[in-house]
Every structure is written in structure tokens, then in C-alpha cells.
């Protein structure tokens, strides 16, 4: 009885040893094969011998990697060819990795997989190199052609009226995104090779709408033409006849703003040769001696726009520097013009 019990372990050891030898001989007697289910960059190399896999990958990669990368933006095109990008594929390294993945788990697992028809599910990354400097040059070429700064809208007041320069939206290439797309394409023989250069819009700081809001009302006084023009939203709204300064006391030219407004203004008489005995006095509004009738829109240094009782002077150079208007016209103008309104006197 004891002899039988002693023989059981011996038999088991002999059986295991035999199984190990059988597995080893079976595994050693099988030629190197890549396990079923293994792919390289989507290309099926499962069940293939190393040399056959190498030939297939070289054939598949050669045509794919030679395709140029194309970047589009509108009608413009930029190309990065494989030679310029120094694209290289290490097929031998890919086959070696496929075999290593196939051999994972040792002879027991390999034998079990071969006997049962098992697979190794793996899609290996290709071993492809390229020049990052070449990609950078491509991105810079695209950026130089695509990028444009935003331009603010501008406004100039001229004798002919307000002159606008329209705002322009700028563009900036999404360079990091494009670089990542190009590098991803060069590193994959099956990847997309054509891309659109995506951009970000750059808004101007000042738009035409801003100009209109800031210059809702604009005045242009034409001394030679004896005309005051009022523009609203940069469009001519109304023209008025005026009288500008005499040659000896000219109305100053330049860009100003309406500094103040007064109804029935008092007149602080300047000390001048033409003011006579009134010089230095303050004449109350409505007084017959006060030439500032009805309304006052101050401009600069005692010069302003006002109504006059001397209607016959309108259309000539007759004032002592101010801009005279018919009383009815200055009453019409006054509520249309807020303090701070730009006025150009030419």
C-alpha cells in the first residue's frame, strides 16, 4: 500500500515533465509567426511570418508616407512633402514589436493560443520619424499668409464732411492646432493628409458703430462758404447759413468741441478797440445792447455760435470772431447739439 502511495507523486512528476517537454518541443518546432489579431497602424499582420509582415508593411507604408500634407485656407494651398519632412519608417522595429507582443506570456500561453485559435487584440503604433523643424517651417509659412491684424475704424473731419476708414476684423492662425494635426498625419501612414488652417477672429477695438455712438452729432463750419453743417450718425442732417469773423477779427480755424450752452446769454464785453465804452462790462441777456441773441453755444476763448438781430450780416464775414446765425436757426440748432459735440472750423 505504501509503495502505491509513493508511486503516485512520481507518476505525476513524470507526467508534468513530459508535458513540459512536449510544450517546449511543440513551441520550438513552430516557426516564428505574428499572433492573429495584431495590427500595425491598422494594417493586419496577424498570422504572418516576420519577413512577410516586413514586406507588407513596407509596401503599405511606402505609398502612404509619400503622400504630401496639404494645408488649405480659402483658395490658398501649402504642401509639405515627405522628402522635405524627412519622413522615415522603421519597419524592422515594428515587426520586432509585433513578435514581442505575440510572445508575451511565454510558451504555455503561446501553445494554448495556437491550439485553441486564440488571438492577441492589439493595434501597434507605427515607428515613424519626421523633422519637427520642417513642420515648424510649414506652420510659419501659413501664419505669414493668413495672419492679419485687426484695424480700428477711424474718423476724420474735413471740409467736405466726415471721412470714415472702416474697421477690419483680423485673423490669427491656430498654430498649435495645425502643428498637432500635421505631426499626427506624418506619424500615421493611414491618417488624413489634408487640413484646413483654422483661425481665430480678432475684433477691432473701435468699430463703425463705436464711431457713430461717439460722434452722434458733428458740426462743420465752412467760413468761406458761410455755412454750418450738422451731421447726425455721420450723415448730413441740416445746413445753416452763418456769418463768420471779419478779416481783422477772424473766426479761429481748427478742431474744437462745444464747451458750453446757454439760453439768452449775458455778454461779457471784451476789452477791444471795437467794443468802445462797453469794454469790460457784462450786458444781461435780452438787452438791446447784447448782440448774443436767443442762444449761445461756446467753442473757445470767447468764440461761440449765437443768434443775431442783424440778419443782413448772414452770408458775409461780419462778426468779431463768433459764428452768427439767424435767431430761428440757432433756436433750431440748439437742442440738436449736446455739450462735447465735435466742431471743425475750416
Read off the C-alpha cell for 272: 477791444
Please state whether 219 falls in left (phi above 0), alpha (psi between -120 and 50) or beta.
Answer: beta
Active site residue 306: yes
Catalytic residue among 24, 73, 79, 306: 306
> What is the 8-class DSSP label of residue 141?
H
Q: Find residue 73's DSSP bridge partners.
A: 76
Distance CA 257, CA 76 (A): 48
Distance CA 55, CA 57 (A): 6
| Residues 231 and 162 sit within 8 Å (Cβ to Cβ) | yes
Distance of CA 327 to the CA centre of its chain: 53
Backbone angles phi, psi at 123, to 5 degrees: -120, 100
Q: Find residue 228's DSSP bridge partners.
A: 221, 240
Distance CA 219, CA 297 (A): 12
Tell me the residue ranges of DSSP E strands in 101-234: 122-124, 128-129, 154-158, 161-165, 170-173, 194-196, 199-202, 217-222, 227-232
Residues 6+ apart with CB under 8 A from 40: 53, 57, 94, 98, 123, 124, 126
Catalytic residue among 73, 320, 322, 326: 322
Question: What is the set of active-site residues?
Answer: 306, 322
Amino acid at each position: 500500500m505504501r509503495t502505491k502511495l509513493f508511486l503516485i507523486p512520481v507518476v505525476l512528476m513524470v507526467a508534468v515533465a513530459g508535458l513540459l517537454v512536449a510544450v517546449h518541443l511543440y513551441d520550438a518546432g513552430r516557426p516564428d509567426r505574428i499572433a492573429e489579431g495584431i495590427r500595425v497602424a491598422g494594417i493586419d499582420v496577424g498570422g504572418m511570418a516576420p519577413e512577410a509582415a516586413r514586406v507588407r508593411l513596407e509596401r503599405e507604408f511606402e505609398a502612404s508616407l509619400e503622400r504630401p500634407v496639404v494645408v488649405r485656407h480659402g483658395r490658398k494651398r501649402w504642401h509639405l512633402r515627405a522628402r522635405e519632412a524627412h519622413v522615415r519608417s522603421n519597419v524592422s522595429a515594428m515587426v520586432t514589436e509585433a513578435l514581442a507582443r505575440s510572445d508575451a506570456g511565454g510558451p504555455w500561453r503561446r501553445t494554448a493560443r495556437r491550439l485553441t485559435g486564440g488571438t492577441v487584440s492589439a493595434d501597434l503604433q507605427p515607428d515613424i520619424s519626421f523633422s519637427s523643424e520642417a513642420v515648424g517651417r510649414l506652420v510659419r509659412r501659413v501664419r505669414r499668409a493668413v495672419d492679419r491684424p485687426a484695424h480700428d475704424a477711424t474718423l476724420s473731419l474735413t471740409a467736405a464732411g466726415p471721412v470714415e476708414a472702416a474697421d477690419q476684423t483680423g485673423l490669427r492662425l491656430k498654430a498649435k492646432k495645425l502643428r498637432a494635426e500635421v505631426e499626427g498625419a506624418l506619424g500615421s501612414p493611414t491618417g488624413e493628409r489634408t487640413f484646413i488652417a483654422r483661425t481665430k477672429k480678432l475684433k477691432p477695438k473701435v468699430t463703425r458703430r463705436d464711431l457713430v455712438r461717439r460722434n452722434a452729432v458733428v458740426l462743420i463750419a465752412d467760413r468761406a462758404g458761410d455755412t454750418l453743417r450738422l451731421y447726425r450718425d455721420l450723415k448730413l442732417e441740416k445746413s445753416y447759413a452763418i456769418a463768420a469773423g471779419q478779416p481783422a477779427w477772424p473766426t479761429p480755424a481748427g478742431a474744437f468741441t462745444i464747451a458750453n450752452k446757454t439760453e439768452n446769454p449775458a455778454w461779457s464785453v471784451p476789452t477791444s478797440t471795437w467794443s468802445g465804452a462797453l469794454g469790460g462790462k457784462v450786458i444781461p441777456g435780452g438787452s438791446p445792447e447784447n448782440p448774443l441773441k436767443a442762444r449761445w453755444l461756446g467753442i473757445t476763448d470767447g468764440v461761440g455760435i449765437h443768434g443775431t438781430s442783424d440778419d443782413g450780416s448772414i452770408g458775409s464775414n461780419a462778426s468779431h470772431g463768433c459764428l452768427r446765425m439767424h435767431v430761428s436757426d440757432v433756436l433750431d440748432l440748439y437742442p440738436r447739439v449736446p455739450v462735447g459735440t465735435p466742431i471743425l472750423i475750416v
